[in-house]
Structure 1
Amino acid sequence: MSTTEPLTDGQHRALDELRYLERVAGGRVKVEAATDDGRIDITIYCGSDRSKDADAQLQAWEPFSILVGRRYPLEVPAVQVRHRRFAGLPHVVWGEYLCLHVGDNDWDPGRGMQGLLERLLAWLDHVATGTLTGPDLPWEPPIARAIPQLGRLIIRPELPDALVTTGEPHIALAVVTAVGDRKYELRQWLTGPDDLQSTLDPPNFLAVGVILQRPADYSYPTRRAELLASLRDHGFSLGMMQELTDLALVGNVKLWEGVPLSLETWPLPFLLVISPSPGHAGPRHPAAHVAAWYTDPLKQGDELLWLKVYDRRPSIVTRRDHSRPAHWLTGQRILVLGCGALGAPVAESCVRAGAEFVECVDNRAVHPGILVRQPYRYDDIGHAKATVLAERLRGITPEATVEGTISNAIDLVADDGFLAQFDLVVDATANRSVAVGLERTRWTMSDRRPPVLSVMVGHDCERAIGTLALPSATGGGVDALRRLALAAGEDDGWQDVLDDFFPDPPRTELFQPEPGCSDPTFVGSAMDMSAFAGQLLNDALAQLATPVPVNKLVPALSATVLRSTEAVGSGPAVRRRQWRGDMLLTEAGHRFQVRVDPAASAGIRAEIERVAEFKDLDCETGGYLLGQIDQASRVVWITEAPPPPPGSEATATSVKLIPDFVRQVVAERRARTRGLVDWVGTWHTHPHSEPNPSSLDVSTAAGLAEERGALLLLIVGGGPGRLTAWTEHRQQPDFHTRLFLPS
């Protein structure tokens, strides 16, 4: 009585497809037989011509067996060779199976047997013409039947040149760490005992490796005798290998003497087999492949046991993000301020992208409410966010150093030396004091200024903003937000952004998820935050990865606005604004930084040119300044320098403005910009002298400051010819700025 299950519909379909192809293939394919277990024997005509360059000599009819699984076409059929003549060729596994697909995802169920046959015919054509081993083919590691339950070995360090350039087969030693859960990491290759970087103590132990000088076959043996015979063929005597293996085994036994062992963490005896890439892979890599043979001397029998090897050496593996903006993070030092809904996923992305060092800063603890959208666990409740997050991120890769700092970010951003040690600072606190502190410290830094990325979401999580200040930018996150608000006020397409992030009057209905004195926050889900955090970081990295010359004419400050699917009706899903740098002046009295917008600078120069044309440069001129004085950031923004109002008087020694007209203009600007642009002071020229304020200048400005509040006095001068040089040749004159504060 037969116990074979009947063929499935899919297996019947495979046979029907091959018989159809037999009819239409012009006599090149024959279906010879089919069995009731899904095996279909075919032969393929390869012609009678023989090329001296062929990778193998083909017969006129080459036989193959196609093994069709019961889930066909959803699973890939296997192609078996019914002889050993192809053993050792690329894509031939165990000497008898053809690997025609890179992986399961490379198989197209819709093309079925036609797609399989096309690949098989193409492979045979390459063999016949000697192009199967072309330089464009990828490296193929020899295949070993690994047993993951036995153990998993991760390899990161490159082999030293001294081990791979001798030209002779030789032995290497490696330091391996038992990290638990049957996982082992190769931490160091040794050329001799002096190479040990530290005392060899548990959980570390030694492993022996044999370095081949010729490529291995395309599959490793499955029997012990076959492997030993192969190693002898590569120049290794059995006595040499046994002696070195015993040496490592005895050394490890002594090393671990008295240490409690378990099956999860113990010095697993194995032999490393290191082989070069095959010659077809272009320039040969002398140590392209590493396999690990379990060599337990207590285990009898001829069957080979192989560990699962994960080779992570940079010369072997191409990172999956190598051509993406995230690649900029490789080897960088990142500071993440705020470990909440945006900061935590940003920090994780940095670690996964290969950052060398990530410092996570937060002074809050995990509480139940944040589990809705922040990547913490129930067991983390009551623990500091920074330390919990850092501990989890350290588990992603041992190649990154991750520190959790429980501190108020305001204190840290005041230290310019602390900020200067990072390659990128990410402000994800949504805290205005932190933003202002960063703005203030950043402009006072004389040495290395890192880029600053500030990220935030709107009150209903339908919009998010990321601002990026490159090292050459004249302002930081506060500056970029201010510029964005001004731009939004001039563009109806930004009205929703203006209302969300710069409401006027300020929003009074605040979302407080817990009763009592809890911090107001925004409404948003974990999905919202993951999407926004990833997009904002990716956008910033794309800008950082683009080389930007240190030049004020190149935009170095930007703001990117993201809109959710619910908000895209208000404008594009992604929109970025960029700005050139301001002219920077240092205020003389209180050490504020004065940032003169290019439009304001052009306005001042245009007025001087007007006076020169209709009067002469010996005549004083001036006007009023619009912008903002931020005493927290210690910054004065001069956004506009409007021309003097009608009826103003300019003489050789003075300029008089019409106050009523100025008040009218100021009121209109204040209303249109939601208070971001106001009257901040006045400017005038000293055509014949240095721009030092006269006693009249000082007394007038001080009186206005007592009457109207803080006021900036800006004087343009430099002596004869300096104003002409500015108007005609764009050679900057001398400026004097002084801030007057009410007493």
Structure 2
Amino acid sequence: MKSEGQAWAVAQLGEITAVSPEAFELLEIIDPARENEGMTVVVSVNCKPFERREGGIPLKARERLRISVPWDFPLDRPTVNFTHDRYGAFAHVQWGSSICLHQAPDVEWQATRGMFGFMQRLGEWLEAGAAGELDPVGMPLHPPVAYPVANFRVVPTQNAPEPTETYWSGYVEIPREASHAAELGRWIEQSEEVPDIRLASVILLPTTMPFEYPTTVWDLIVALMERGVSLTMIRLLMTIGVLRTGEGKCAIFVLGAAMRGVSGGRLLQHLACWRMDVAQTDKLRAAAIARTDDNPIDEQVFYAWAFEAKVEWCRVLEDRPEIVERRDSVSPAAYWRGKSVTLMGCGAIGSAVAMMLAKAGVAKLRLYDNNVVTPGVLVRQGFDRRQIAYTKSSATKVNVEAAVPGINVIEAHADVAQALTDEVRSAGADSHRHRA
């Protein structure tokens, strides 16, 4: 059985075949066995007219493709695969054979054109793929794929170091973490003294990685060795990483490759992160501590794990300034970025304004208020019960610093007259006053 939409797809493919029998051949149609299932269509496309250039996909004269048409076509878009995995190493080909036809499907898929538009897009993709122009100059590069396994997020916040001709190795601080996410802070080169704090181990490559990252630890190690990173260095970095990970926590590892940016422009580091489960982290740490010259037990434990383990890739939420652009960069809020601001009053309005200013990027915030947090104000002011009896200025400071780490906040339990006196004495010429 076919849905009405799938029947329309078959009719459109039939029209394409009738008009261009040499360019397109409909080989097989596999109907869905039941409702709400997809329909499979096998087609053959003539690729002889597509010019083949260096770096392009070496398409055969005719390529056989498998198109999956969903039950709710055209509201849901079709997908297409090669019937082999020979082109799996190329960008825009995932899982060995899946063609990444739309980079932004919600915008690019035109339901009203149905299979006519789909096949036109497929032809354009094959032509560009053969010519090596799937990433045209001036357009964003297709990122590599590390399929997330762990329900865990990693948030890089500072620009990544640029690796040398070989690679950059070291660590990155983890200043904040929870059960579901970790934030990455300052980068620490391996030649620097390694601080006794929570760290993730890092390798940054000046070259590329495969477009589909390895799924086993040993395959990942082999890929790094092929790019000039020694096995000794890999093991050393991982050992330091587990030693700087507390008991009951997962060790985190960061891998960078020069695969982010605009085609033809400067390449930045594409960061991928993976983690080691708690049991293995604790096991490797114990082995590293127990190691002696006569009993290198940590090496035995490492290799036993590396040959068997899967890579637990995590989702990366980018917050590096070199990668992301603030959503308020062209809004009026951008005026406050880098300013020094004095706020007189930290009540219902003042505490909210303080938070807005902090998120807008002020460099320095002075807070004045002569009241304390009482139970009655909790229903309409931005404080919680744990802050009862705090001064409002100190409670606002705590909230602001939690939301925007690193901001310079000075607070005083003082009235407006005292605040004005302090302001007159202050040498900060670039100071803006707001009473709330």
Give TM-score scaled by structure 2 length. Answer: 0.76
Between the aligned partners of 1:103 and 1:324, the Cα distance in structure 2 is 26
Are positions 1:322 and 2:329 aligned together?
A: yes
Paired residues of 2:91 and 2:144 also in contact (CA < 8 A):
no
Partner of 2:27: 32
3-state SS of the aligned residue for 1:126? Answer: helix
* C-alpha deviation, 1:420, in angstroms: 4.9
| Greater RCO, CA 8 A, separation 6+ | 2
Partner of 1:237: 230
Are positions 1:294 and 2:275 aligned together?
A: yes
Please tell me the residue identity of whatever aligns with 1:84: D
Between the aligned partners of 1:331 and 1:84, the Cα distance in structure 2 is 52
Between the aligned partners of 1:402 and 1:70, the Cα distance in structure 2 is 57
| 1:127 to 1:391, Cα distance in 2 relative to 1, 3 A | same
| 1:232 to 1:370, Cα distance in 2 relative to 1, 3 A | closer
Paired residues of 2:51 and 2:127 also in contact (CA < 8 A):
no
Between the aligned partners of 2:324 and 2:68, the Cα distance in structure 1 is 32
* C-alpha deviation, 1:138, in angstroms: 1.0
Please tell me the residue identity of whatever aligns with 1:248: G
* C-alpha deviation, 1:305, in angstroms: 1.0
Deviations 1:104-158 (A, max 9, x none): 5435464454444443333223223333233212144321112342x32221223
| 1:329 to 1:87, Cα distance in 2 relative to 1, 3 A | farther
1:306 to 313, 324, 329: 313
Which sections of structure 2, spanning at least 5 residues, go unmatched?
284-304
Between the aligned partners of 2:395 and 2:130, the Cα distance in structure 1 is 60
Partner of 1:347: 354
Partner of 1:156: 157
Deviations 1:583-606 (A, max 9, x none): xxxxxxxxxxxxxxxxxxxxxxxx
Partner of 2:290: none
Please tell me the residue identity of whatever aligns with 1:146: P
Partner of 2:244: 252
Partner of 2:286: none
Partner of 1:273: 255
Are positions 1:66 and 2:59 aligned together?
A: no
| 1:172 to 1:413, Cα distance in 2 relative to 1, 3 A | same
Are positions 1:144 and 2:146 aligned together?
A: yes
Paired residues of 1:224 and 1:303 also in contact (CA < 8 A):
yes
After superposition, residues 158-557 of structure 1 pair within 5 angstroms as 158-161=159-162, 164-165=163-164, 167-177=165-175, 179-192=177-190, 194-195=192-193, 199-200=195-196, 204-249=197-242, 251-252=243-244, 256=246, 261-262=247-248, 266=249, 268-277=250-259, 281-285=263-267, 287-296=268-277, 297=280, 301-340=308-347, 342-364=349-371, 365=373, 371=379, 375=382, 385-402=392-409, 405-417=412-424, 420-421=427-428, 423-429=430-436
Deviations 1:9-47 (A, max 9, x none): 555555555555555678644443333241333343333
Please tell me the residue identity of whatever aligns with 1:394: E
Between the aligned partners of 2:375 and 2:19, the Cα distance in structure 1 is 69
Paired residues of 1:67 and 1:78 also in contact (CA < 8 A):
yes
After superposition, residues 666-705 of structure 1 pair within 5 angstroms as none
The RMSD of aligned alpha carbons is 3.7
* C-alpha deviation, 1:422, in angstroms: 7.0
Give TM-score scaled by structure 1 length. Answer: 0.47
Between the aligned partners of 2:417 and 2:123, the Cα distance in structure 1 is 68
After superposition, residues 549-628 of structure 1 pair within 5 angstroms as none
Which sections of structure 1, spanning at least 5 residues, go unmatched?
1-5, 430-743
Between the aligned partners of 1:314 and 1:29, the Cα distance in structure 2 is 47
3-state SS of the aligned residue for 1:328? Answer: helix
Paired residues of 1:139 and 1:277 also in contact (CA < 8 A):
yes
* C-alpha deviation, 1:412, in angstroms: 0.9
Please tell me the residue identity of whatever aligns with 2:259: S
The percentage of aligned residue pairs carrying the same residue is 24
* Greater mean deviation of Cα atoms: 351-360 or 101-110: 101-110
* C-alpha deviation, 1:172, in angstroms: 2.1
Partner of 1:95: 96
Please tell me the residue identity of whatever aligns with 1:358: L
3-state SS of the aligned residue for 2:158? Answer: coil
Paired residues of 1:50 and 1:57 also in contact (CA < 8 A):
no
| 1:114 to 1:206, Cα distance in 2 relative to 1, 3 A | same
Between the aligned partners of 1:84 and 1:413, the Cα distance in structure 2 is 72
Please tell me the residue identity of whatever aligns with 1:242: R
Partner of 1:128: 130
Please tell me the residue identity of whatever aligns with 1:34: I
Between the aligned partners of 1:160 and 1:343, the Cα distance in structure 2 is 39
Paired residues of 1:22 and 1:29 also in contact (CA < 8 A):
yes
Deviations 1:532-557 (A, max 9, x none): xxxxxxxxxxxxxxxxxxxxxxxxxx
Deviations 1:290-344 (A, max 9, x none): 1123245466844321122223222222223333333333333333334456544
Between the aligned partners of 2:121 and 2:383, the Cα distance in structure 1 is 48
Please tell me the residue identity of whatever aligns with 2:80: V
* C-alpha deviation, 1:212, in angstroms: 1.9
Between the aligned partners of 2:369 and 2:14, the Cα distance in structure 1 is 68
Alignment size in residue pairs: 402
3-state SS of the aligned residue for 1:230? Answer: helix
Partner of 2:295: none
Are positions 1:119 and 2:121 aligned together?
A: yes
Between the aligned partners of 2:406 and 2:12, the Cα distance in structure 1 is 51
| 1:213 to 1:343, Cα distance in 2 relative to 1, 3 A | same
Between the aligned partners of 2:344 and 2:138, the Cα distance in structure 1 is 46
Deviations 1:376-425 (A, max 9, x none): 56877776544444433333332434555443234212333466537452
| 1:415 to 1:214, Cα distance in 2 relative to 1, 3 A | same
* C-alpha deviation, 1:90, in angstroms: 3.0
